[in-house]
């Protein structure tokens, strides 16, 4: 197992797979992350597994409870107000700074991710749309060139991506509202992209704030259905170990 740790970057591999599964809700909130099971699954020693879990805990995606080991962090629906307040402030800030500081290469990356979201949205591919949305906003944060803001924003977006899997998918059965939501999301993305391209900080910040409001409204619509909240309503001890 040690050879695998060294040749394939065991810790990085375990981290990448688990992070993706947590963000995509493949691993539900509250799922116990058993070290022995993970070492067997990834064919690595315990050291890379522990390193990966420490990294995920630093991002707020995993938590360690005394005597209970590691679990996928809960999505506290009671904290939605605080979440959206933080997201609003951070998204306004990074988008404004991106308009003032972006490079041509960063601008090209932002535009490419916006186009990728469009393709996924038209194909009604919820997974690809969420991934493209995350990549777009991360690219905007990178263009802001403020490490501390970007780190805070990235952590907020990690929770946001898990929530987005509730409101971007069609599990609620609200086809027309979802279609309108995606159309407006694409419009917002292109408005942000153009504002950043034109170095219009005021317009960039305004669209960023409106974009958070759009996400908030869709989130509350999704929460009105039982099926939508099922993935985040698992009790801490109810989920299976992985």
The CA distance from 51 to 180, in Å, is 42
Once rounded to an integer, what is the mean pLDDT over residues 186-201? 98
**According to the model, what pLDDT value does residue 126 have?**
77
- Alpha carbons 111 and 136: distance in angstroms, whole number: 8
What residue ranges define each of the domains in the chain, with the CATH number in brackets?
2-74 (1.10.10.10), 78-228 (1.20.120.530)
Q: What is the pLDDT of residue 13?
A: 94
CA distance linking residue 46 with residue 50, whole number of Å: 6
C-alpha 106/C-alpha 150 separation (Å) is 14
Helices vs strands, H then E, count in the chain: 11, 3
Tell me what pLDDT residue 48 has. 95
The confidence score (pLDDT) of residue 175 equals 61
> Which tens digit of pLDDT belongs to each residue from 141-173?
999 999 999 999 988 988 887 877 766 554 544
> Using H for helix, E for strand and C for coil, what is the string for 90-158?
HHHHHHHHHHHHCCHHHHHHHHHHHHHHHHHHHCCCHHHHHHHHHHHHHHHHHHHCCHHHHHHHHHHHH
> What's phi and psi for 37, nearest 5 deg?
-65, -35
> Can you give the pLDDT at residue 111?
98
Task: Determine the average pLDDT of the residues in 207-226.
Answer: 83
The predicted pLDDT at position 131 comes to 86
Question: Residue 195 above 50 pLDDT?
Answer: yes
Question: Stretch 17-24: mean pLDDT, rounded?
Answer: 88
Segment 87-97, tens digit of pLDDT: 999 999 999 99
Mean pLDDT of the chain: 84
């Amino acid at each position: 197992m040690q050879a695998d740790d060294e040749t394939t970057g065991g810790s990085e591999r375990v981290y990448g797979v688990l992070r993706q599964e947590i963000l995509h809700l493949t691993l539900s909130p509250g799922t116990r992350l058993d070290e022995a099971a993970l070492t067997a699954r990834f064919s690595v020693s315990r050291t890379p597994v522990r390193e990966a879990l420490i990294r995920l805990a630093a991002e707020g995606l995993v938590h360690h409870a005394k005597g209970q080991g590691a679990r996928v962090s809960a999505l506290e629906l009671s904290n939605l107000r605080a979440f959206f307040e933080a997201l609003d402030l951070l998204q306004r800030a990074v988008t404004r700074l991106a308009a003032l500081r972006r490079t041509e290469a960063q601008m090209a990356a932002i535009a490419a991710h916006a186009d990728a979201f469009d393709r996924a949205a038209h194909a009604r591919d919820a997974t690809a749309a969420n991934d493209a949305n995350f990549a777009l906003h991360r690219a905007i944060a990178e263009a802001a060139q403020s490490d501390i803001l970007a780190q805070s924003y990235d952590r907020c977006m990690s929770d946001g991506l898990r929530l987005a899997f509730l409101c971007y998918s069609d599990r609620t059965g609200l086809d027309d509202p979802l279609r309108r939501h995606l159309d407006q999301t694409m419009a917002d993305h292109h408005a942000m992209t153009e504002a950043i391209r034109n170095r219009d900080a005021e317009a960039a910040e305004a669209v960023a704030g409106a974009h958070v409001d759009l996400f908030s409204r869709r989130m509350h619509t999704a929460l009105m259905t039982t099926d939508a909240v099922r993935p985040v309503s698992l009790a801490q001890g109810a989920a299976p170990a992985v």
